[in-house]
């Protein structure tokens, strides 16, 4: 991914074939069960994989992490028919998935969503809009959270492709439902369970996104180190400047601290510990903030060069800024904790 990261960003390319190569390595359903094509790996394995992949392209890896969350939800909460119908194609990335929770009027307050599903015979009729949907319009399977009780050409349509600061290798659109008929057979779990299923998906999603921030921070520390070794000012390389040496040491320390907290959270989730929700929230809050600061400091160490698109560090800064917002915004996570 690394050689193509800048091009995918600038041309807003959704790298389908590259992701299918990743799926051949087992990265399309990392923590999905093997009987439907998954790799059956742990949450800790998953975190390590997403950290590594993000050193090559944060935006693409972040999409892969969302795709994995959707596949896991179907694997974990779907019945035998649903698992066999959807999971193999998702694990091979023959088909791509989108997670549809956020709405124009409900972000952190997910329980206030308005998209409705009214049952008519063997179908639900969906009405409403979802906002900021990663992959929206370019993906095949939509895991949609909607309200079966209360408020609530026809079918599914998409808003314009959003122009974003980062995450440009994945399209983002509104997903709009107008009398969209969906078979009852496609419902995950029972009516009324959806909110809990969505939240359980996000616990893993928070670790995954935080792991993507780790990869960006790791790559940025290395880029900063390499730049300091060659950039000369005042007759010597910047690597001889003690202030910058100390700064780099501080960045490396915060990177490792973030990594350890994320891996602890992954282990807690894997073991279904009672403190897992809090620790996953802590890991995302701490690591996405610290890793952004690391990337930003790495850009600063590049001086004016860091602000040029020829240098990768600026893309890491742009791509991980949104990690402090989605799948649990910072202030909201403090509330959860």
Per-10-residue mean pLDDT of the chain, 337 residues long, equals: 97 98 98 98 98 98 98 97 98 98 90 92 95 96 87 69 96 96 95 90 95 98 98 97 98 98 98 97 98 98 97 98 95 94
The pLDDT, as a whole number, for residue 155 is: 73
DSSP 56: T
CATH architecture of 193-336: Up-down Bundle (1.20)
* Options 51, 103, 290, 327, the catalytic residue: 327
Burial 106-115 (b: 16+ CB within 10 A, else e): bbeebeebbb
pTM, 2 dp: 0.94
The pLDDT, as a whole number, for residue 110 is: 82
Q: How many CB atoms lie within 10 A of CB 33?
A: 16
Tell me, yes or no, if the two domains 2-96 and 193-336 fold the same way: no
Domain ranges of the chain: 2-96, 99-186, 193-336
- Tell me which residue of 167, 19, 162, 156 sits closest to 93, measured CA to CA: 19
The pLDDT, as a whole number, for residue 154 is: 55
Q: Which CATH class, in words, describes the domain spanning 2-96? A: mainly alpha
The pLDDT, as a whole number, for residue 157 is: 85
Q: How many CB atoms lie within 10 A of CB 191?
A: 13
The pLDDT, as a whole number, for residue 156 is: 78
99-186 — its CATH code? 2.40.110.10
The pLDDT, as a whole number, for residue 168 is: 97
Residue 327 is among the residues annotated as catalytic for this protein: yes
3 state SS for 154-198:
CEEEECCCCCCCCCCCCCEEEEEEEEEEEEHHHCCCCCCCHHHHH
The pLDDT, as a whole number, for residue 241 is: 97
């Amino acid at each position: 991914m690394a050689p193509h990261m800048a091009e995918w960003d600038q041309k807003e390319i959704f790298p389908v074939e590259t992701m299918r190569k990743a799926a051949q390595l087992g990265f399309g359903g990392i923590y999905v069960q093997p009987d439907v094509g998954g790799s059956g790996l742990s949450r800790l394995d998953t975190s390590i994989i997403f950290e590594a992949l993000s050193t090559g392209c944060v935006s693409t890896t972040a999409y892969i992490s969302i795709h994995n969350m959707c596949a896991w939800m179907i694997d974990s909460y779907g019945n035998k028919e649903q698992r066999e119908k959807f999971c193999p194609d998702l694990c091979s990335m023959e088909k791509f998935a989108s997670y549809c929770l956020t709405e124009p009027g409900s972000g952190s307050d997910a329980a206030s969503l308005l998209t409705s599903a009214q049952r008519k015979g063997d179908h639900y009729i969906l009405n409403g809009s979802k906002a900021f949907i990663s992959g929206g319009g370019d993906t095949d399977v939509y895991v949609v959270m909607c309200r079966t009780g209360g408020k609530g050409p026809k079918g599914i349509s998409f808003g314009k492709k959003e122009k974003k600061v980062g995450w440009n290798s994945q399209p983002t659109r509104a997903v709009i439902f107008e009398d969209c008929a969906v078979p009852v057979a496609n419902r995950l779990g029972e009516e009324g369970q959806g909110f809990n299923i969505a939240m359980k998906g996000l616990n893993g999603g928070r670790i995954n996104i935080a792991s993507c921030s780790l990869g960006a921070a790791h790559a940025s520390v290395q880029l900063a180190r390499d730049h300091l070794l060659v950039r000369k000012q005042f007759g010597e390389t910047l690597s001889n400047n003690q202030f910058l040496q100390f700064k780099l040491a501080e960045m490396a320390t915060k990177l490792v601290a973030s990594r350890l907290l994320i891996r602890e959270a992954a282990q807690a989730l894997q073991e279904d510990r009672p403190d897992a929700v809090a620790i996953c929230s802590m890991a995302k809050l701490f690591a996405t903030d610290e890793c952004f600061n690391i990337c930003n400091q790495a850009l600063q160490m590049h001086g004016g060069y860091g602000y040029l698109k020829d240098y990768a560090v600026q893309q890491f800064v742009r791509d991980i800024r949104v990690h402090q917002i989605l799948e649990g915004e910072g202030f909201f996570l403090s509330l959860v904790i």
